[in-house]
Structure 1
Amino acid sequence: MDECVICEREVETTRHHLIPKNRKESPIVPVCGSCHRQIHAVFTNHELKHRFNTVTALKESEEMRKFAAWIRKTNKRHVAVDETKRVSDWRG
């Protein structure tokens, strides 16, 4: 088990590319599945590439700060997240 760089829990992690659509050159960080789903549910790839392309930027975003604070208080390992309307509209 690794530590999720967002919620800082010791859980099974997945690989998150900090720069979407540029996987060859993108730094990869370990995030739990729940945080990973949340990242992609609340941010577009454009936002991830240009504004949230560091662990610090992700952790300081209001959306991820609130989510990480909530999930740290639970024993949940996997949670379903709903894509925001804004992200859904952007994806078409």
Structure 2
Amino acid sequence: MPDEAPTCFLCDRPLGQKVQWHHIVPKSRGGRETAPVHPICHKTIHATLTNKQLERDCASAEALRAHPELAKFVDWVSSKEPDFHAPTRRRKA
């Protein structure tokens, strides 16, 4: 049985040609562990949550997917190709 393709930490889709590495707990907050993500998923995580929120509330894939804005994003992106890209909106200040 062949190995399964690696998947994105956020959306769980197969990874494409471009892969970024997300610090599960932000590096600025002492995090060292990273997980592979699509560029669009990585941008969406950081456009939606502050480093403090990531450290405090969203230090797992399950917690990220449970966040209302990220859950909506994951639902939308789930049918897209692995290398799909679109502009990412920044969080409102």
Q: Distance in 1 between matches of 2:12 and 2:66?
A: 14
The normalised TM-score by structure 2 is 0.79
Gaps of 5+ in 1: 87-92
Structure 1 segments of 4+ aligned residues over 3 angstroms from their partners = none
The normalised TM-score by structure 1 is 0.79
Structure with greater strand share of residues: 1
Contact 1:11 1:77 in 2 (8 A): no
Aligned length: 85
Q: Distance in 2 between matches of 1:2 and 1:77?
A: 16
Q: Distance in 1 between matches of 2:32 and 2:92?
A: 27
Gaps of 5+ in 2: none
Contact 2:58 2:64 in 1 (8 A): yes
Task: Tell me if 1:5 matches 2:6.
Answer: no
Deviation by residue 1:21-67 (Cα, 9 ceiling, x = unmatched): 145x4321111111100000010111111111111111111111110
1:1-92 equivalences in 2 (<5 Å): 2-12=6-16, 13-20=19-26, 21-22=28-29, 25-75=31-81, 77-86=84-93
Q: CA-atom RMSD, angstroms? A: 1.7
